[in-house]
Amino acid sequence: MIIADLRTELRTASLPRPWGEDVPYNHVIVTHVTLKDGRTGTGFSWTPQIGAHAVKALLDHDLREALIGLPARPEVVWDRLWRHLREAGPGGITTIALAGIDLALWDLRCGGEALPDVLGRRRDEVPVYGSGVNLHYPLDELVAQAGRWVAAGYRGVKIKVGRPDLAEDVARVAAVREVIGPDRLLMIDANQRWDLHRARRALAALREFDLHWIEEPLPADDVAAHVELRRSTDVPVAVGENVYTAYGFRDLLAAGACDVVQPNVVRVGGITPFLRIVELARTYDVPVYPHLLGEVSGQLALALPLPVMAEDVEDASFARLGLLAEPYPVEISGGVLRAGGHAGLGLRWS
């Protein structure tokens, strides 16, 4: 169980529905960790916009040498490499790079079992909500997208807000609520575009649409402003996709700044820190809704202790981007996600 080598491959996939003029692609760094006995585990790092080459360089030039010779135990390796990388910064490129190694080690740990079973499967399926990076969509395209999610049987939908004119946000949310009806959940995501004053005004104007949560209303590291916003609204506050360490989640939870946390399994550094964040959130009775990356996040959701939904960003799964070969590790149908009978993470990179 000693690590003998690390290899990486950078892949770039065009998004069928670009996330804006500046985000036409997703970048994946596929990682292969080989043991002395010849077994190999496969993981990945990911970035939708910038930093892919920096992450690969960090893996190839700073982590490979430190990794070789260590025991193939994810928790031990993660803590050792985290200390090794601290000079490069406490999160961001460093944790994204660590995720590639950690996911590969968990792939090895699973052996012949699927990831949800190794973690402790609590459910066989999880509800899915439709999600889109759609702030730049014209209203008719946004409404059509919401209609596709309804036709797919999704239990909820999430759309972007944060247009310069609040009246536009109100009109767009109203149109989507009309399409999905009163019984489906409706979430909105501001992607850190507001300050506290704008967030209060926006949520007051949108309150009539029965919002299930407001996601990233404020800069992700402004804990105090999140606390103040939560005190002034009855709309649940969701945070976490741009929080990179367990310490960041600890500070948000301890301050009472959020109702939902949404760690991204790659941005936090892999499954090892993700599980630590889950247990931390559980002590505050705050649910975890994994962010994006459904082929792995969906599997994690099957093992989480509190109620959860899986996020499906339209046309952005690794399968839809042509990065995976069948059979895929998860399947979405009838509005729910299920995991297949694969071994490990089940990622077969094409």
Active site residues: 160, 291
Q: Which two three-digit tokens encode residue 249?
A: 């989640």
CB-facing half-sphere around the CA of 262: CA atoms within 13 A: 24
Within 8 A by CB and 6+ apart from 6, the residues are: 31, 32, 33, 34, 59, 60, 63, 64, 67, 68, 101
CA separation for the pair 114, 116 (Å, rounded) = 6
CB-facing half-sphere around the CA of 91: CA atoms within 13 A: 16
The residue among 159, 161, 135, 136 whose CA lies nearest residue 147 is: 159
For 8, the 3-state DSSP assignment is: strand
